[in-house]
Chain A
């Protein structure tokens, strides 16, 4: 009778020591115990003397079976704590493994050295956050209200404040320290988002700049030459949609008219241009070629004769005011290739 109660008490104590296990697992583990206790008791002596205290027996049983300390019967906070412990263990392993790769005993040693850099960055990010909240612009400098001086002053306050905080936060109680850490995390997210945004905007600006660079910005006038190298006047250019292409400076020759043409008044010249440009070129008198060099013609021959026949044709006109003057002028448009050398030679 006495022995039965001792066995029951021992069994109950072992069961209690395994209370954290899943009931099914625990019952399996204890399945053989009543029989065993009966055998041991039959040989005499107290169970505790023979087997040790019930808690020790439970611990030994647990270790021998290899049951993890707990299963489904755990509370949520215990499971969270278990996960945190597991993550910490993993991080510890990664810390030790990574350290030698970057030349330190542990990776955390290196990160600890970087801590002041983080303080500076944090101060900068706080300044940026203040700027963004007030002006919603994320550039490289925290220009509060668009002012560079404000940016410098803001940095001069925020960065040292962050460093000051960094040197003291370790002595803070747990909650303020956690708040600082959480704030740091928020700042990192904010900073990443801001940098991505600023980077995209920077690229966009670059693109618009390159697009807005006009490859024809240096053009002041357009000279069109026909297939014979003759200057075409009053030409108009259109794009594929039928819109006129306006290149050059419409008023380029308002000065030229003023100085060059004695007879025409400035007002007339300007008025004439103001009404509607007749077409390209705006300044026919500044044509780069009288007869343009063409791909088919050798450049050594073409430039020399082109300038020469243009003037002779002009001079014979007033010199010989005979009625045959008109017909003699007509051959002039054809002094390409073969016709040009003949007057000189």
Chain B
């Protein structure tokens, strides 16, 4: 199965999750996602998702000057973002366990 299709549905949640403990700028967030195993996530998808979450009011952002290049725009969760992470996380876990159970019943190999 093409993971990019699956990613589309959960990238919001993934981005919220990697920002839970520490704010980050775009490329930083991309690296965290890849480090977590989401190798196929596209650069533009992450930036687009950040933009959309920011517009939806889940993120705050601030600019940090950088010595070695252009300044960096950092993103972090605000209260609404944490709330959204909590709800979306629950939804995902429910969905994932349902899918797991469905596959287990039919003996599909993990």
Contacts and interface: CB of A to CB of B under 8 A. Distances in A.
* Bound pair (A, B): yes
Interface of A: 28-29, 31-36, 38-40, 42, 50-52, 57-58, 60-66
Given A34-B70, A35-B69, A36-B43, A64 B27 contact: no
A42 B48 CA distance: 22
Contact of A64 (B44, B66, B68): B44
Contact of A65 (B42, B48, B68, B72): B48
Interface in B20-50: 25-27, 42-50
Contacts of B42: 52, 60, 64
A64 B45 contact: yes
4 shortest A-B CB distances, which residue pairs?
A64-B48, A60-B44, A61-B44, A65-B48
A50 B27 CA distance: 13
Given A32-B26, A36-B43, A57-B43, A42 B69 contact: yes
Contact of B52 (A35, A38, A42, A64): A64
A29 B48 CA distance: 7
A29 B51 contact: yes
Contacts of A42: 68-69
B52 A66 contact: yes
A61 B26 CA distance: 13
A62 B48 contact: yes
Contact of B44 (A31, A39, A57, A66): A57
B11 interface: yes
A35 B44 contact: no
Given A65-B52, A66-B52, A38 B44 contact: no
